[in-house]
């Protein structure tokens, strides 16, 4: 009964020590996420339009960038030959290739993708300039191991004598290693008590 009680105490102490060995990650403030400058827009919040390459204008698809189109009525000839008479096309006024109305003979129109802005809001950070990624310090847990520190625990010996045992716990210790240290410390303490009473312990 006393042995079971002692084991329970040791397990409770080990659990408390494990909890005491962690703290909130300073890098992510315990959130598990860290903000990094958006690599896609390089912290600008905007990205260059990949359609017009930042030029704001693109080639007119009606005239192919020439500023003129071929008359559909005369096939760009400006008119038609009727017997010995040349009749001028009434639709293009004899030009054959009238000015493109869509681009006003410039050969270019406003980029439809960016609205002639030359850039658009970064679709990775939504203009916030930063992205949240899993914290590389705590691996997204929000907790990191605290510095190694001495843990003081009070154990009640089988003989009824109370004592204080100091056990050094390392943050990298496994639960098995912590239990081993507590057991070793308890046995050493008990041996010390018995020897102080004149009992030889081998």
Considering the domain boundaries, does residue 122 fall inside one?
A: no
Cα 39 from Cα 45, distance rounded (Å): 10
The number of angstroms, rounded, from the C-alpha of 165 to the middle of its chain's C-alpha atoms is 45
End-to-end CA distance of the chain: 25
Cα 106 from Cα 101, distance rounded (Å): 9
Cα 139 from Cα 30, distance rounded (Å): 11
Considering the domain boundaries, does residue 126 fall inside one?
A: no
Are residue 106 and residue 150 in the same domain, yes or no? no
Total domains in the chain come to 2
Considering the domain boundaries, does residue 140 fall inside one?
A: no
Place of tokens 């843990």: 151
pLDDT value at residue 14: 53
Considering the domain boundaries, does residue 162 fall inside one?
A: yes
Which run of H or of E encompasses 80?
strand 79-82
Place of tokens 């410390």: 185
Domain extent for 83: 57-110
pLDDT value at residue 162: 52
Nearest to 79 by CA among 66, 68, 69, 91: 91
Considering the domain boundaries, does residue 44 fall inside one?
A: no
Considering the domain boundaries, does residue 131 fall inside one?
A: no
pLDDT value at residue 54: 92
Cα 139 from Cα 25, distance rounded (Å): 10
Residues of the chain with pLDDT below 70 are 1-21, 146-165, 170-173, 201-202
Last residue of a domain, one of 66, 87, 110: 110
Considering the domain boundaries, does residue 117 fall inside one?
A: no
Considering the domain boundaries, does residue 14 fall inside one?
A: yes
Are residue 105 and residue 150 in the same domain, yes or no? no
pLDDT value at residue 152: 45
């Amino acid at each position: 009964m006393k042995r079971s009680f002692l084991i329970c105490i040791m397990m409770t102490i080990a659990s408390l020590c494990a909890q005491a060995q962690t703290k909130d990650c300073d890098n992510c403030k315990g959130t598990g996420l860290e903000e990094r400058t958006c690599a896609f827009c390089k912290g600008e919040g905007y990205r260059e339009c990949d359609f017009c390459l930042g030029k704001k204008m693109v080639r007119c698809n009606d005239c192919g960038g020439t500023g003129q189109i071929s008359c559909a009525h005369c096939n760009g000839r400006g008119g038609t030959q009727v017997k010995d008479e040349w009749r001028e096309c009434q639709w293009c006024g004899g030009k054959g290739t009238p000015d493109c109305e869509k681009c006003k003979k410039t050969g270019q129109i406003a980029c439809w993708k960016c609205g002639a802005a030359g850039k658009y809001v970064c679709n990775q950070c939504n203009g916030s300039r930063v992205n949240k990624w899993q914290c590389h310090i705590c691996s997204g847990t929000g907790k990191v191991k605290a510095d190694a520190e001495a843990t003081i625990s009070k154990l009640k010996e089988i003989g009824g004598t109370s004592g204080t045992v100091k056990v050094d716990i390392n943050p990298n210790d496994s639960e098995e290693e912590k239990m081993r240290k507590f057991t070793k410390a308890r046995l050493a303490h008990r041996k010390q008590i018995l020897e102080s009473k004149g009992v030889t312990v081998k």
